[in-house]
């Protein structure tokens, strides 16, 4: 959809792009300045495979200060974005037929990475009525002897669902009493700093330290610091897993750019006020769209607690006809029709939830109002 959107824009059409999971803010100036200094100082050579000493020290301090996770430099893996960290974790551990439990809707790349490494995705169904939150009983029923990983992403892409401490503690209890005591848990905290309504962020390794030797906590600088193009993600986890991931990375890309690592260290070590301010902007945009969408018949939009996406239930519009007589057969078809009318969104099918759409509100208020007007017009035109 992002590529089709680019083509439509290049052809001269007016399209509000709500497809990409990327903040629309620039990287804060002090981070770019740190990268320039790194070049001037000659920090352009190889670094250790699992990250420079300075960056890993910054990550260790971040985990201790922000999350209450005690770790050392040897427990840290740095990759080219959170995606590479996830890929290396699965590549290092999955055998053909191993099951990976992931609440749906899920980030589409999880599914592809699992399949590319011989694993089997086992979606855990959630409901819009409960804000797409995984229920402990659903998790408990899904765990089997074939389970190798459980993936938890909070706040979530695409739903914005964020788990409170008491919900994570319920998951921990399920994990403790499971007959399978060998599966691992990947906790993706990449949207940690984009959390709304005064909610306090929580992560499983801090709440359940007895499970720490089974938890890989993944994070990065892409979302909070608007550094998507710098490609720096990182993780803290059990030493044997980190060592295996490092061996894998050694033969893939050696390490992340030394200049990007210097910039990431500056992001973690430096002032955080701009991160907080931007979170407030995202909350304002969420509320703007929720207000506009509440007036659109056939569109049910749960209220996300974080990230910068809405994941509305559009099933009431599936099966209706366009003014020209063509039937909206599914969410892919609906997304294509919306693109024709000037709004680019992503079908929910790619996130394991057909009949839904993902909309990124990482764009201006003006664009959001325009997108809401166009979506409302499309919904009203269907019969």
Question: Strand 76-79 vs strand 99-104: parallel, antiparallel, or unpaired?
Answer: unpaired
Give first-to-last CA distance, the chain, whole Å.
25
The neighbouring-strand residues paired with 188 are: 153, 218
Q: Give the model's confidence band at 9: pLDDT under 50 very low, under 70 low, under 90 confident, else very high.
A: confident
| Residue 3, pLDDT score | 81
pLDDT > 70: what percent of the chain?
100
Judged against a pLDDT cut of 80, whether residue 152 lies above it is answered with: yes
Instruction: Supply the DSSP string of 201-212, one letter for each residue.
Output: P--HHHH-GGGG
* Cα 109 to Cα 139, 157, 185, 336, distances in angstroms: 21, 11, 17, 21
> Does residue 99 contact residue 144 with C-beta atoms inside 8 Å?
yes
| Residue 6, pLDDT score | 83
Q: How far apart are CA 178 and CA 141, in angstroms?
A: 10
Residues 155-181 pLDDT 10s:
999 999 999 999 999 999 999 999 999
| Residue 156, pLDDT score | 98
| Residue 12, pLDDT score | 87
More confident site: 248 or 4: 248
What is the residue extent of each domain of the chain? 2-21+274-381, 29-269
> Does residue 295 contact residue 287 with C-beta atoms inside 8 Å?
no
Q: How far apart are CA 78 and CA 294, in angstroms?
A: 42
pLDDT > 90: what percent of the chain?
96
Judged against a pLDDT cut of 80, whether residue 1 lies above it is answered with: no
- Phi and psi, residue 105, nearest 5°: -75, 150
* Residue 17: HSE in the Cβ half-sphere, 13 Å Cα cutoff: 17
| Residue 330, pLDDT score | 97
> Does residue 378 contact residue 338 with C-beta atoms inside 8 Å?
yes
Residues 269-293 pLDDT 10s:
999 999 999 999 999 999 999 999 9
Three-class DSSP category at 337: helix
What would be the CATH architecture of the domain defined by 2-21+274-381? Answer: Alpha-Beta Complex (3.90)
Residues 177-213 pLDDT 10s:
999 999 999 999 999 999 999 999 999 999 999 999 9
pTM beyond 0.85: the answer is: yes
Mean pLDDT of the chain: 97
Q: Give the model's confidence band at 10: pLDDT under 50 very low, under 70 low, under 90 confident, else very high.
A: confident
| Residue 2, pLDDT score | 76
Residues 215-255 pLDDT 10s:
999 999 999 999 999 999 999 999 999 999 999 999 999 99
- Name the DSSP letter for residue 326: -
Q: What dotted CATH number matches 29-269?
A: 3.40.640.10
Judged against a pLDDT cut of 80, whether residue 306 lies above it is answered with: yes
Residues 59-99 pLDDT 10s:
999 999 999 999 999 999 999 999 999 999 999 999 999 99
Q: How far apart are CA 117 and CA 100, in angstroms?
A: 11
């Amino acid at each position: 959809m992002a590529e089709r959107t680019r083509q439509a824009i290049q052809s001269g059409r007016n399209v509000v792009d709500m497809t990409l999971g990327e903040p629309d803010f620039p990287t804060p100036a002090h981070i770019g300045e740190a990268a320039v200094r790194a070049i001037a100082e000659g920090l352009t050579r190889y670094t250790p495979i699992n990250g420079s000493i300075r960056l890993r020290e910054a990550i260790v301090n971040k985990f201790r200060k922000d999350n209450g996770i005690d770790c050392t430099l040897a427990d840290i893996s740095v990759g080219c974005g959170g995606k590479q960290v996830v890929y290396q974790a699965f590549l290092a551990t999955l055998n053909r037929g191993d099951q990976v439990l992931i609440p749906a809707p899920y980030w589409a790349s999880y599914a592809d990475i699992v399949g590319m490494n011989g694993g089997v995705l086992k979606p855990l169904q959630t409901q819009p009525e409960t804000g797409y939150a995984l229920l402990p009983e659903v998790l408990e029923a899904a765990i089997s002897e074939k389970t190798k990983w459980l993936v938890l992403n909070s706040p979530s892409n695409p739903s914005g669902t964020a788990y409170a401490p008491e919900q994570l503690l319920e998951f921990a209890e399920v994990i403790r009493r499971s007959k399978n005591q060998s599966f691992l848990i990947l906790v993706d905290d990449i949207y940690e700093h984009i959390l709304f309504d005064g909610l306090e962020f929580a992560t499983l390794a801090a709440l359940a330290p007895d499970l720490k030797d089974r938890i890989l906590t993944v994070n990065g600088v892409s979302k909070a610091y608007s550094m998507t193009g710098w490609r720096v993600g990182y993780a803290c986890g059990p030493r044997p897993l980190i060592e295996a991931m490092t061996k894998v990375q050694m033969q893939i890309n050696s390490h992340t750019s030394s200049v990007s690592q210097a910039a990431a260290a500056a992001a973690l070590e430096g002032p955080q006020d701009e991160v907080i301010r931007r979170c407030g902007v995202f909350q304002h945009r969420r509320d703007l769209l929720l207000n506009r969408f509440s007036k659109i018949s056939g569109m049910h939009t749960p209220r996300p607690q974080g990230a910068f996406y809405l994941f509305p239930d559009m099933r009431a519009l599936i099966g209706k006809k366009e003014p020209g007589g063509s039937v909206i057969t599914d969410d892919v078809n609906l997304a294509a029709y919306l693109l024709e009318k000037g709004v680019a969104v992503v079908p929910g099918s790619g996130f394991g939830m057909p009949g839904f759409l993902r909309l990124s509100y990482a764009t201006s208020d003006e664009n959001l109002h325009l997108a809401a007007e166009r979506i409302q017009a499309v919904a009203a035109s269907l019969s």
